[in-house]
Amino acid sequence: MAYSLPHLRTKLPGPQAEQIIKTDKQYVSPSYTRDFPCVAERGEGMKLIDIDGNEFLDFCSGIAVCSTGHCHPEVVQAIKDQAEKLIHMSGTDFYYQVQSNLAKKLSELAPGGSNKRVFFTNSGAESVEAAIKLSRYNTHRTRLLAYTGAFHGRTYGALSLTGSKIVQKAGFSPLLPDVTHIPYPYCYRCMFGQKYGFCRFECVKYLEETIFEKTVPPSEIAAVFFEPIQGEGGYIVPPKEYVTRLQELSKKHGFLIVADEIQCGMGRTGKMFASEHFGLEPDIMCIAKGIASGMPLGAIIAKAEVMNWPYGSHASTFGGNPVSCAAALKTIELIENGLVENAAKQGAYLLERLKKLQPDYDFIGDVRGMGLMVGMEIVTDRESIKANPAIRNKILELAFYEGLIILGCGPNSVRFAPALIVEKEHIDCCLDILEKIFKKITT
Ligand SMILES: Cc1ncc(COP(=O)(O)O)c(C=O)c1O
């Protein structure tokens, strides 16, 4: 059967979309980064349908959120069933069965053998805020480490840890004090000019010999905030040895490791949590995005002995609301029953097809990823590896007008983050469109 996506019925944007965008431009905050004139109306699996009936192939899944595809019927049913029973009573003061069940499930799923406890939030940034507070409370220390290129969210604590784009910070100071950014192990562009496989982990040496000896007393560090795969920064996979060394440093100096799995967690990388690829048992793990297939929900999962804050010290009115929890329980059931394996299998195929394209196009600098978290870094040429955001942006734009939704990440990378239900046919279709675009760009 010939694959039927994408299917564009009007020029883009269509007439109804144009009207809505006009109203939106007048009334909605100008801070949003809406690069494509797409007014999302309906979604079904890998398909996104706009207000004018144009059908797109969605390879961004609401920025790695709609993990089970758009409006998975079983998730929709779980939401309906819960909404008919109870929408809110406030988990701060009352118990919900779905919330307790979800906490139990997440505790069991979290990497490592120690007992865990869960605190619920409504978003990624709120999870990061909770992790900042908990790590300071638990260690009685104040200082935090985060990485260059990191994205942890936009509330004040999370923003202080973010090291992604200047526009996100400019004009918003003062931020949280005592945050130090250290180099992310981004081997394609090693800050120390080294090559992975031949280096002696200068990035770790820099931590030990410069940061810990000259600028930040390690005995004052509460936690290091680490994305096991850096997301917004460019879908960057660190070497496993780096994570091992980081764990050694955390043990030696007594600081916690907070894994921000908000983008890379919930089955996306072909394991339930990306930390598992690196043998990492985080002291605290932040999750959100893909946990509830699009319903607003986040959480931190911490080692039970770490989550020692007392009665009344932290809470959230909406956090862990029953409808989102019901959606999360169903989402996890689907992820466990085949989607995590599918992410590993289809992700490997996607990576293989992108790698096959690489020799023909000198602007494909690097192709990397795990499972369905795949990035393609666009450069002027592979010799200079000079970042080329202009070509990257052109690729995203042309893809959109071909009916393929892909987003960028980092200054010059294309991100592929389809739903975990993606099939080979979708990947072939995506790659065929890309190849057509690449030919257009190079002729
Ligand atoms: C790794 C990571 N942490 C935190 C966040 C912030 O999440 P939210 O936008 O839900 O606040 C994001 C969002 O992109 C993220 O990718």
Mutate to test the pocket of ligand 1, among 147, 225, 229, 232 (most ligand atoms within 8 A of CB): 232
Query: What is residue 1's predicted lDDT score, i.e. its pLDDT?
Result: 42
Domain boundaries, the chain: 15-70+363-442, 74-334
Q: What is the mean pLDDT of residues 4-26?
A: 95
Centre of ligand 1 to C-alpha 67, Å, is 15
How far apart are alpha carbons 343 and 245 in whole angstroms?
A: 28
Of the candidates 69, 85, 127, which has an alpha carbon nearest to the alpha carbon of residue 319?
Answer: 127
Average pLDDT, the chain: 97
Query: What is residue 5's predicted lDDT score, i.e. its pLDDT?
Result: 83
Which CATH architecture does the domain made up of 15-70+363-442 adopt?
Answer: Alpha-Beta Complex (3.90)
Query: What is residue 306's predicted lDDT score, i.e. its pLDDT?
Result: 98
Residues flanking ligand 1, CB < 6 Å: 123-125, 128, 151-153, 227, 231-232, 260, 262-263, 288
pLDDT digits (tens, 9 = 90+) for 53-64: 999 999 999 999
Q: What is the mean pLDDT of residues 363-386?
A: 98
Atom of ligand 1 nearest to the CA of 230: 1
Q: What is the mean pLDDT of residues 327-341?
A: 98
Burial code of 409-440, b = ≥16 C-beta within 10 A, e = fewer? bbbbbbbbbbbbbbeeebbebbbebbeebbee
Query: What is residue 3's predicted lDDT score, i.e. its pLDDT?
Result: 63
Centre of ligand 1 to C-alpha 148, Å, is 15
pLDDT digits (tens, 9 = 90+) for 189-246: 999 999 999 999 999 999 999 999 999 999 999 999 999 999 999 999 999 999 999 9
CA angle 401/402/404 to nearest 5° reads 100
pTM for the structure as a whole: 0.97
Q: Hey, what are 187's tokens? A: 């081997």
The DSSP bridge pattern shows strands 413-416 and 407-409 to be antiparallel
Domain 74-334 in this protein, CATH class: alpha beta
Q: Percent of the chain, pLDDT > 90?
A: 98
Atom of ligand 1 nearest to the CA of 125: 11
pLDDT digits (tens, 9 = 90+) for 254-289: 999 999 999 999 999 999 999 999 999 999 999 999
Q: What is the mean pLDDT of residues 344-368?
A: 98
Of the candidates 351, 414, 413, 387, which has an alpha carbon nearest to the alpha carbon of residue 60?
Answer: 414
Q: What is the mean pLDDT of residues 105-109?
A: 98
Q: What is the mean pLDDT of residues 344-351?
A: 98
Query: What is residue 218's predicted lDDT score, i.e. its pLDDT?
Result: 98
Residue 149, pLDDT above cutoff 80:
yes
